Structure 1
Amino acid sequence: MLNSMLENRYKVLKLLHQGENNQIFKALDTSTSGKVALKIELSENHNLILHEIQVLTDLYDLIGFPRILSQGKHKGRYYIILNYLGKSLQNKFLSLNCKFTLSCVLRLAEEFFYRIESLHKAGYIHKDLRPENVATGYGLNWQSLFLVGFTYSNKYIENNNGRHVQCFITKTLSSNVNFSSVNVMNKINPSRRDDIESIIYILIYFYCGVLPWISNGKMTEVEIKKTKESIVLEPLCKNYPFEFISCLRYVRGLEYDQEPDYEMLRSCFKDMALKNKILRVYDWALSNEKMISRARLDRSKTPSCKKTTLRQMRRTLARESRKSLGKGSENKVMEFKAKEETYDGKFGDSKDSKDNEENKDMISRMDTVISDEYPEIKNRDQIIKLRNDFLQIWIKECILTSKRRS
């Protein structure tokens, strides 16, 4: 599959994830030179991709969900081309020593409940929420969360009458044992409340670094279910913040077809941040700011500095002369330096304005650096705008904090 070309446009570069039924590759859109994601089925007999295409088509206009760029068949297997996203929360979690700070978890909680509310309002439930199925944004969208992995998602509203589907016992077991709800483990068909319960398990997992049933890898499904049922009771709940357990108790008290109070859930974690005077930010915010500061900019539309340009030109000429002439050619290198001085004079005091313009254009073109590593960052204005947006948010949080103290 690697190095294959799809639709004479998308070149497959790297395997990113190997799932049970599909593979996800990093690919290059040769028409735009941008990165895209390719998701393709493992077998010709599967048609789960077709189901996911239907779900993502219905979610196309919503924030925080992948967008389909193209779809088709390759050697009998269905595939979809999606916009490129960042790392999953599981990868972020592992890279940060398997634990997020409380400020990060509270920020994630807010984003989680916004995303799941949008999904539920569109008439779908996810059914497979886990850290691997939540991705961060790519490039300048690094602050956004994206829900992915809609292979098992389905509608909870009947198309013919608009009513909620009836509760029934299913014969299939969930493959997501660690983060599935107690009702799902009891083989009750999932509804909106079960997505919320999975989110709370994920938040506890990120904050504590582990869940009781994950730390003991030898637990059976029956033992895991009993541990989940007792997590809201003493003495287990004393190890977790009260707000987590309070939300868990609320969700388990919902009826099968009852709509969760998303605003109440968000407010619970927001009040927790205010009470503890916590600024809700991601733990990986600093690393992304450093990435932006180190990014090489496309300066083709910005005025060039003459002194810097000449210095770069001298270094380039000297480097090229050493490569082409070899050792013992110092005299010829001096000739290059003499030519550079004549260029310097032309740029400074020459009366021939036409030569000046041609030389300046030449310097501007030589000074143009187009970044392949960070194609989202086009010029300095975007960096300044990003910095100003961050400062405005920080100032508002400081004002709110000072008002609370007074």
Structure 2
Amino acid sequence: MTQLQGTDKETNQRVAIKLEDIYTTPMGQSATEFEGELYPQLPNNTFPELLWTGKTKGGLYDALVTDLLGPSLQNLWVYCDNSFGMDTLCNIAIQALQRLKALHRKGIIHNDIKPSNLAMGSGTKGNTLYIIDYGLATRYEDIQGWEKVPGGVTGTAHYAPLEAVRDKRMRSYRDDLESLGLTLVELAKGALPWDATPSGKVLEHRERVTLDELCAGLPDVKFLLEHARSLRFEQQPNYDPLIRRFQRRRSEPGKGKTWVFDWVRRRYERMQEKMEKREADMEMERQAQMEIGEREAHVENRRRSRDEEDDGEEEAPPRRRRRQE
């Protein structure tokens, strides 16, 4: 799978391009081809817009072209030193829950919710959260009745629900919610407890971690994970109470001020630091120039003073040699 950026020659619009070699799936439908079929079913406005899908010239790749969004939460999280404050975390949770609600209402399960698959918009939509990358998504109608069919880990195991890691059930709506909960824990704390655990011992480690330990200091995330684990296979989460909990948790629940994300604040702070450094450098340069000017003026004044002293003295007559006798 190859991710690229390009420019639409007709509109001059920047676009995101996904390419998948057809030889990686010679006998079946590629993930990119499936994603191209799924996009028209996604809700409007808050999901990436599909611009074109099909095979490239020569038929070597399945291609998907969408509008180009802003940075992913993974990149923004690194930019903010691997930690988000509570307001930013709540704003992410609120929008992610709204997107999952819209997605699940369409009968679509994402199966790979993680920071790199959550991206912010660009331009006037810079504060809008998007869920991206539907190559591993499933339609509920295609898996209905498969509750007892082992599903295993689909997507990134790091954020997979515990039961999926145990390989005991097919993924459903509830599992998108659990993956979101684990994502929020990582974004708040900087890491999940099993980050450094060898792959063969991840399940053993995860089974020892209680929700109280995992969500210490994050009661609303704990409530979200408990709700996800209480759902049946066919049930969709009760999104609205979850959204309201995160809305109440923000420092100013009813004000737009809380939609200023940490990365916006960090960018502003860094711009301020650069401006202050530039001003300090300019001030140092001014001081240096003033000192140079003062030294040059001092030297010039001393030179003039010597010249004036020399001009004021009468030249002594030449001394005669005494005649030798």
TM-score normalised to the size of structure 1?
A: 0.59
Pair 1:253 & 2:253 matched: no
Pair 1:23 & 2:2 matched: yes
Q: Which residue is 1:56 aligned to?
A: 39
Residues 166-177 of structure 1 aligned to structure 2 (within 5 Å): 166-170=146-150, 172-177=152-157
Q: Which residue is 1:205 aligned to?
A: 186
Contact 1:71–1:80 (8 Å) recurs in 2: yes
Which of 220, 234, 257 is matched with 2:201 structurally?
A: 220
More displaced, 124-133 or 68-77?
68-77
Pair 1:89 & 2:73 matched: yes
Matches of 2:206 and 2:149, distance apart in 1: 17
Q: Which residue is 1:124 aligned to?
A: 108
Q: Return 5+ residue gaps in structure 2 as ranges.
A: 271-325
Q: Which residue is 2:123 aligned to?
A: 139
Matches of 1:103 and 1:117, distance apart in 2: 21
Which of 187, 190, 193 is matched with 2:171 structurally?
A: 190
Contact 1:174–1:185 (8 Å) recurs in 2: no
Q: CA RMSD in A?
A: 2.7
Q: Which residue is 2:52 aligned to?
A: 70
Which of 211, 216, 219 is matched with 1:242 structurally?
A: 219
Contact 2:151–2:164 (8 Å) recurs in 1: no
Matches of 2:72 and 2:101, distance apart in 1: 20
Superposed CA offset, 1:121-172 (max 9, x none): 011000111111111102221111111111110111359xxxx433023264
**Structure 2: which amino acid aligns with 1:110?**
I
Call closer, same or farther: CA 1:82–1:285 in 2, change over 3 Å: same
Question: What SS class does the counterpart of residue 44 from structure 1 fall into?
Answer: helix
Call closer, same or farther: CA 1:138–1:276 in 2, change over 3 Å: closer
Q: Which residue is 1:306 aligned to?
A: none
Matches of 1:207 and 1:175, distance apart in 2: 22
How far is the alpha carbon of 1:224 from its aligned partner? 4.0
How far is the alpha carbon of 1:116 from its aligned partner? 0.4
Contact 1:37–1:84 (8 Å) recurs in 2: yes
Which of 28, 32, 37 is matched with 2:11 structurally?
A: 32
Question: What SS class does the counterpart of residue 109 from structure 1 fall into?
Answer: helix
More displaced, 40-49 or 77-86?
40-49
**Structure 1: which amino acid aligns with 2:223?**
S
Q: Percent identity?
A: 22
Question: What SS class does the counterpart of residue 79 from structure 1 fall into?
Answer: strand
Call closer, same or farther: CA 1:179–1:89 in 2, change over 3 Å: same
Question: What SS class does the counterpart of residue 285 from structure 1 fall into?
Answer: helix
Contact 1:185–1:225 (8 Å) recurs in 2: no
Between the two structures, name the one with larger relative contact order (CA 8 Å, sep ≥ 6): 2
Q: Which residue is 1:364 aligned to?
A: none
Q: Return 5+ residue gaps in structure 1 as ranges.
A: 1-21, 292-406
Contact 2:136–2:155 (8 Å) recurs in 1: no
Call closer, same or farther: CA 1:224–1:83 in 2, change over 3 Å: farther
Task: Mark the structure with the bigger radius of gyration.
Answer: 2
Matches of 2:62 and 2:46, distance apart in 1: 24
Superposed CA offset, 1:40-91 (max 9, x none): 10343432211001111111x4232111111222242110111111111101
**Structure 1: which amino acid aligns with 2:222?**
I
Q: Which residue is 1:149 aligned to?
A: 133
Which of 258, 262, 284 is matched with 1:283 structurally?
A: 262
**Structure 2: which amino acid aligns with 1:226?**
E
Q: How many residues align?
A: 262
